Copies of this chain bind each other. A is one copy, B any other.
Amino acid sequence: MAVGQNEFPKMLQVSGITLGTACAGIKQTIKDDIVLIAMAEQSTCAAVFTRNAFCAAPVHVAKANMTHQPRWLLINSGNANAGTGKQGMDDAQLSCAGVAEVVGGQAQQVLPFSTGVIGQPLPVAKITAALPAAFAQLSAGLWDKAARAIMTTDTFPKGVSKVITLDGHSITINGIAKGAGMIQPDMATMLAFIATDAKIAQPLLQSCLAAAVEQSFNRITVDGDTSTNDACVLMASGCASAPEITADSEYYQIFADAIMAVCKQVAELIIRDGEGATKLMRIVVEQAKTDEEAVRVGKTIAHSPLVKTAFFASDPNWGRILAAVGRAGVDNMVLEDVQLFLDDVCIVRNGGCADDYTESAGQRVMKQEEITITVKLGRGQAVQEVLTCDFSYDYVKINAEYRT
């Protein structure tokens, strides 16, 4: 199940970035399960990783290799190489060495990423055996195949492609990802790869990515379970003809906004493919004192199983939303100041059900596949948005029956 029509878009090529895929047979033998991404020599690369204290072996290796001017990414699906102890670290290193041998580079310039089952040894030999095939394929046109090769329980491949113009020169930004956020069973979990042909120094690229992730991937949640393998990479090949983007250039904000927009679109695709999802809920918290407070209220609503099951049932059960706001841990909140809207329908005002609310108006909104919940706290000016999906029988089914 997924929310909406989610056709894979026509992806433009990003000059200086090539991709190749192959089937290593990690978990099955019918689909490609490894992706090799090569960056042109002058590329810069930024990345953010999971905050889970027990991050997977490839996360440790990728973090360490970030300081060696990465040139290649190796991604495998089917096995997370997490909870695998020292052997897992050795395996992650071995897979980087395998790439180095095939491409004729340094193992330290390879960033490894794994997604799939936790706690099983990574079949390194299968991966290295498949690398020559992936290497032979490297081309700028394989975004579609790459998006498919990184899927695990995703029901559709996720891609976004965007062009902006800086000083008459076009810059392309592509993003692919696999989901579904923090919720995949034994799957670990969200990986997103963004690439552009812009020229931009690494520290600036990193701060650009950090800002974008904070407002996109860090604003989605399916069930609050942060995986051990989450990562988001932003590559900039510098191959476009546009001038270098510097912190004080007039183009920086345009570029940063475009990266943000791509990250938000990719993040939304992940929620649309949340496990068992039948509805997309956009939770907008307004009139908060601070951004942090707005996010906290939004996430408390988004994590509430009572709220999520009510939306699955198309039940405008505002008592559950209000109770979630009330337990978000915001000091001195005043119930009488809080307003609650489902799309444009005001449902709570003055501490209770709004006078002009009708059950039929609430039902009309709740029947939609996409719903905006707006909470006005009446405390300040801060606004933040959190995306989530509903909680269905299929969520329990997918997660309970995964290994049976």
Contacts and interface: CB of A to CB of B under 8 A. Distances in A.
Q: How many copies does the complex hold?
A: 2
Interface in A361-401: 391-393, 395-397, 399-401
Interface of A: 51-55, 80, 82-88, 117-119, 183, 185-186, 188, 223-228, 303-306, 309-310, 312-313, 315, 317-320, 322-328, 330, 333, 335-336, 338, 348, 350-353, 391-393, 395-397, 399-404
A86 B353 CA distance: 12
Contacts of A88: 352
A94 to B, nearest CB: 17
Nearest to A85: B352
Contact of A306 (B338, B399, B403): B399
Contacts of A53: 325-328, 330, 333, 335
A225 B312 CA distance: 17
Given A395-B396, A403-B317, A185 B306 contact: yes
A399 B305 contact: yes
26 contacts: A53-B333, A54-B322, A82-B323, A83-B322, A83-B348, A83-B353, A85-B350, A87-B352, A118-B323, A119-B318, A119-B319, A186-B319, A223-B304, A224-B303, A225-B306, A225-B323, A228-B323, A305-B395, A305-B399, A306-B399, A309-B396, A313-B399, A315-B400, A315-B403, A317-B402, A392-B400
B226 A323 contact: yes
A188 B330 CA distance: 20
Contact of A326 (B52, B315, B333, B336): B52
**Interface core residue of A86, A320, A324, A326 (most chain B CB under 10 Å):** A326
A322 B404 CA distance: 20
Given A119-B318, A183-B305, 10 more contacts: A53-B326, A54-B333, A85-B352, A118-B319, A185-B317, A225-B304, A305-B305, A309-B396, A392-B396, A393-B396
A335 B396 contact: no
Contact of A335 (B54, B119, B306): B54
Nearest to A335: B54
A324 B225 contact: yes
A186 B353 CA distance: 14
